[in-house]
Amino acid sequence: MLNLLKDNQNWVENVIAKLTAKMDAVSERSKTKIPYTTKNGKHDNQIETDINWWTNGFWGGMMWLMYHETGAPNYKEIANFTEDALDLCFHQFYGLHHDVGFMWLPTSVANYKVTGNSESRKRAMHAANLLAGRFNLAGGFIRAWNDDTASEDTRGWAIVDCMMNLPLLYWASEETKDPRYAQIAIKHADTALEAFIRPDGSVNHIVEFDPFHGGVVRTYGGQGYEEGSSWTRGQTWALYGFMMSYMHTGKQKYLQAAKRVAHYFMANIPDNGVIPIDFRQPKDPAYEDSTAAAIAACGLIEIAKAVGEYEKDVYVNAALKLLKTLDASYCDWTTDSDHLLMKGSAAYHHQDIHISIIYGDYYFMEAIFKLKGNDLFLW
């Protein structure tokens, strides 16, 4: 238990009240959509533009979180609609990458956990097999992306984001009692521990391995500022992701990895709580990424649950600082707009700077429910 101070408990309850009012309105408007961002304050619809997009599970996840919190049946109905729509991805196949965990953990695995839906279990197992099929035995890693362009050979590429896809494999082993899925997840986590986390706790985004013989070929800056920099959302994927591997395996080295990344992240949180896209980016332009703050808060809260009483407050207080900054300065609490968090950024060198992004909304919501202490654990 986190045992929040009374003032913090009151703040959490106030935020949940605002979330409920917001989502009551937004869910009705977007009940036949799978959003990624907003345009003029209204959700776009990935069903019409890119059904295979990697973020397409988060809206369904938000609906399951709200259903768990409120019991309102409309949230379950919207989540079911989202999950059904994603079936097209399996038929198309070619657009699917390692991010099938992000897509089917918050949808099918969530549905199965909550309702016991056998069709959802089948979908989740199908996704788990697709993810396991991306494992490179020689290199001990899960391949990130397919060859979408002729100019890039990504056969040896792995990215730090994949740490958050591994829970799909852990779930598959736990569900079937077949160790193969967890063995792949553990091997990838071990490889990532060696190749992605630097001695100071910062992380690489992309590592290229020799796909035939193993071993690191080079690293890439990816969505951060440059090679060797510190993309903040990448830090959070590692922070939260290694924590998930610890929770599913009990291996202390993963907890220690999560803590090492967490302490680097906490040491770099500015006094104002505003998280940049990259901790090593130039001061100007001062690009921000609210999504990194929300994801970090989730991971920090889980670390707090796993450590002793004398350590707990360090992580809880850092999470509260991030979330209170988001609540005060980055959340659009009006019911006229569909987005919640503002100033999310996909990458430093990308056109999607300072926009709303659906996973920012999801992880903010998840973090708040974690603080309340009765969250629906989807990972």
CA–CA separation, 368 and 16 (whole Å):
7
Q: What is the pLDDT of residues 292-324, one digit of tens each?
A: 999 999 999 999 999 999 899 999 999 999 999
- Total count of residues recorded for the chain: 379
The phi, psi pair for 216, rounded to 5°, reads -75, 130
CA–CA separation, 169 and 185 (whole Å):
6
Q: What is the pLDDT of residues 86-137, one digit of tens each?
A: 999 999 999 999 999 999 999 999 999 999 999 999 999 999 999 999 999 9
Question: What percent of the chain has a predicted confidence (pLDDT) above 70?
Answer: 99
**Domain locations along the chain:** 6-372
Contact call for residues 92 and 52 (beta carbons, < 8 A)? yes
Biggest alpha carbon distance in the chain? 57
What mean pLDDT is predicted for residues 155-179? 98
Vertex 366: Cα angle to 234 and 183 (nearest 5): 55
Whether 327 is a known active-site residue: answer: no
CATH code for 6-372?
1.50.10.10
Whether 99 is a known active-site residue: answer: yes
Q: What is the pLDDT of residues 202-221, one digit of tens each?
A: 999 999 999 999 999 999 99
The phi, psi pair for 353, rounded to 5°, reads -110, 135
Residue with tokens 């992306």: 145
Secondary structure (3-state) at 170 = helix
Closest to 371 measured CA to CA, from 6, 17, 9, 41: 9
DSSP string across 222-291 = TTSSSTTS-BHHHHHHHHHHHHHHHHHH--HHHHHHHHHHHHHHHHT--TT-PPBSBTTS-SSS--B-HH
Secondary structure (3-state) at 150 = coil
Could you tell me the pLDDT band of residue 157, with boundaries at 50, 70 and 90?
A: very high
Active-site residue identified among 161, 289, 338, 361 = 161
Active-site residue identified among 44, 99, 327, 338 = 99
